[in-house]
C-alpha cells in the first residue's frame, strides 16, 4: 500500500507543477508577464518539492510510472483549464463565396467587428471576412457563421492586437 501511495503523491505533485507550467507557457505567449511570473514561482516550488520526494524514492519503478503519468495528466489539465479561461484574442478569417453580406450583417448585429475583403479563389470571386474576437468567444462566433454558410472556410489564429479599436470588446 505504501508503495502505491508514494507513486500517487509523486503523480499529484507532477500534475500540479505541469498544469501550472502549461498554463504559464500560455500566459507568456499572451504577454501576461506578471501572471506568468507568479505561476512560474509556484510551478518551480512544487517541482522542487516533488523532486525532493522523488529522489528519496527512486528505488521504486511504480514511482517512475507515477512521475510520467503526472506529467501527461498535467499537460491535459493545463490545456483544458486554459481553454476554459480563453486568454487573449483570436483572428477569425472566414472565406465565403455567396453569403458574405449575411455573415457580416449578423456579426455586426452581435457587436463583432468585421472587415470584408474582396478576393479571388480557385473557382472565382469570394469574400474574406476578418474578425478579431476574444478567444473564449470563437466557438459562439463560428456557430453563428456556420448557421448561415456551412460551406465557408474558417481559419482561426491567435493574435495580439497592437493598436486600434476592437469592436467586439464593447460586448
**Cell numbers that stand for 104 in this block:** 457580416
| pTM more than 0.75 | no
- Average model confidence (pLDDT) across the chain: 89
What would the pLDDT profile of 77-104 be if each residue is shown by its tens digit?
A: 988 888 788 778 899 999 999 999 999 9
**Cell numbers that stand for 100 in this block:** 458574405
CA distance 7 to 5: 5
If 0-12 CB within 10 Å is exposed, 13-18 middle and 19+ buried, where does residue 7 land? Answer: buried
What would the pLDDT profile of 140-156 be if each residue is shown by its tens digit?
A: 999 999 999 999 999 99
pLDDT confidence tier of residue 171, bands split at 50, 70 and 90: very low
Residue 130, φ and ψ in degrees, nearest 5 = -115, 130
Mean pLDDT of 129-145: 93
What would the pLDDT profile of 24-35 be if each residue is shown by its tens digit?
A: 988 888 788 999
Amino acid at each position: 500500500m505504501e508503495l502505491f501511495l508514494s507513486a500517487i503523491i509523486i503523480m499529484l505533485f507532477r500534475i500540479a507543477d505541469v498544469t501550472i507550467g502549461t498554463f504559464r507557457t500560455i500566459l507568456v505567449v499572451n504577454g501576461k508577464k506578471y501572471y506568468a511570473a507568479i505561476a512560474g514561482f509556484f510551478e518551480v516550488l512544487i517541482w522542487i518539492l516533488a523532486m525532493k520526494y522523488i529522489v528519496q524514492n527512486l528505488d521504486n519503478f511504480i514511482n517512475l510510472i507515477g512521475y510520467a503519468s503526472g506529467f501527461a495528466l498535467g499537460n491535459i489539465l493545463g490545456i483544458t483549464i486554459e481553454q476554459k479561461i480563453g486568454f487573449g484574442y483570436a483572428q477569425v478569417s472566414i472565406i465565403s463565396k455567396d453569403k458574405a453580406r449575411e455573415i457580416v450583417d449578423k456579426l455586426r448585429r452581435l457587436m463583432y467587428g468585421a472587415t470584408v475583403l474582396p478576393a479571388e479563389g480557385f473557382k472565382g470571386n469570394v469574400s474574406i471576412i476578418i474578425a478579431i474576437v476574444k478567444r473564449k468567444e470563437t466557438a459562439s462566433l463560428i456557430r453563428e457563421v456556420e448557421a448561415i454558410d456551412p460551406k465557408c472556410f474558417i481559419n482561426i489564429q491567435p493574435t495580439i492586437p497592437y493598436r486600434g479599436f476592437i469592436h467586439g470588446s464593447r460586448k
